[in-house]
Structure 1
Amino acid sequence: MHGHITQDNLVAVPAAAVWEAYSGLQLGKLVDKLLPDVIGRVEVVEGDGGVGTLVKLTFPPGSPGSGYMIEKFIKNDDVARVKETELVEGGYRDLGFDFYRIRLEIIEKDSESSIIRSSVEYEIDDKLAELASHVNTKPLEIMAETIGKHLSEKKTAQTQ
C-alpha cells in the first residue's frame, strides 16, 4: 500500500527567511529550542546538513512507539526550497513501514508571506494497511506554525 498526505501552512514571513530556517541543520536547532516537549530532541549523527546527513530525533517521554527515529537528508535544494528526508531507523520503520519520506517545501506567496508545504509519502505491506491510519502531518503542522510564529516575531523585533 502506498500513501501520500500534504498540509499547507501560511506564515507571515518571506520565503527566503523560512528557507534559511528550514534548510541544513538550522531546523533541528529550532526544534530543540522551541519544541523539545512536543516533537523531541534532534542530534546530528553524521554530516553537515547537506544530502547524506543523518539526524536522530528522540521523541518526548510518553510518545508511542520506539522513542526515536533516524532520518537521512536525501534532498536539500536551495533553488526550489525543498528538503526531503527518508526514515532509515526507528519510528514508522519499527511499526512495519517499508518506506517513509518527509518533504518540506517553502513556497513564496508574496514578498511578506510564504507557504510551508509538508508532505509525507509512505509504503507499507497490504497486510499492515490498518497502520496507515497512524500517519499524519500534525507534528509537521505544529513545527510550521511554531517556527513561522518565531520567525515573524523575530522579524518584527528587528524592525522596531
Structure 2
Amino acid sequence: MFGTVSEEMEVKVSATEAWKLYGTLQLAKLIEEELTDVIHKLEIHGDGGVGTILNITFPPGTPFFSSYKEKFTKMDHEKRVKEAEVIEGGYLDLGFTLYRGRFEVIEKSENTCITKTTIEYEIKEEAAANASIVSIQPMVKIMEVAANYFIKNKK
C-alpha cells in the first residue's frame, strides 16, 4: 500500500533566503532548539548533504516508537528540494517499507515563497492498519518554526 500527504505554507521571505535554512543543517539545529517537546535528542552525522544521517530520539512516553534514523537521499539546490528517508527503526519497525519526508521551497514572488512538505510511504499489506499513524503535523510544525525564524530574523 502506498500513500502520500502534503501541506503548503506561504512565507514572506524570498525562496533564496528560505533555502538558506531549509537546504542546510541549520534547520535541524533550529528544530532541536525549538521543538524540545517533540524531539528529545538529535544527533547529526554528516555535512548536511546527501548521505547525512540524523539519529532522532523522542521524549519518553512518545507513542509508537522512541527513535529512528533518517538519511538525506536528495539535496537539489537548484530546485530547492530536500528529501530524507527513514533507514532504521521507527516506521520501519511498524511494517513500513518506505517512509520519506520532503521539503520544497517554491518561489512565488521576489519576497514571498511557498514551503511545501510531503510524506510518501509504502507499507506492507499485513501492517496496513498502521498507515493511520502517518501525520503531516510534525512536518507542519517544522515549517511553522522556520516561518517564525524568518520573522524574527528579517533583515
TM-score tier, shorter chain, comes to over 0.9
Q: Structure 1: which 5+ residue stretches go unaligned?
A: none
Q: Structure 2: which 5+ residue stretches go unaligned?
A: none
Give the secondary structure class of the aligned counterpart of 1:85: strand
1:2/1:121 contact within 8 Å kept: yes
User: What TM-score, normalized to structure 2?
Assistant: 0.94
Coordinate RMSD, CA, aligned: 1.3
Q: What residue is the counterpart of 1:17 in the other structure?
A: 17
User: What TM-score, normalized to structure 1?
Assistant: 0.91
- Give the direction of change, closer, same or farther, for the CA distance of 1:40–1:110 in structure 2 (3 Å limit): farther
Give the secondary structure class of the aligned counterpart of 1:36: coil
Question: How many residue pairs end up in the alignment?
Answer: 155
Instruction: Give the partner amino acid of 2:11.
Output: V
- CA deviation profile, 1:86-109 (whole Å, cap 9, x unmatched): 100122112111111111101111
The separation in 1 between residues aligned to 2:73 and 2:140, in whole angstroms, is 21
Range 110-119 or range 77-86, more displaced: 110-119
Percentage of matched positions with identical amino acids: 43
Give the secondary structure class of the aligned counterpart of 1:86: strand
The separation in 1 between residues aligned to 2:40 and 2:22, in whole angstroms, is 16
- The question of 1:116 aligning with 2:83 is answered no
Q: What residue is the counterpart of 1:32 in the other structure?
A: 32
The separation in 1 between residues aligned to 2:40 and 2:13, in whole angstroms, is 24
Q: What residue is the counterpart of 2:55 in the other structure?
A: 56
The separation in 1 between residues aligned to 2:68 and 2:81, in whole angstroms, is 21
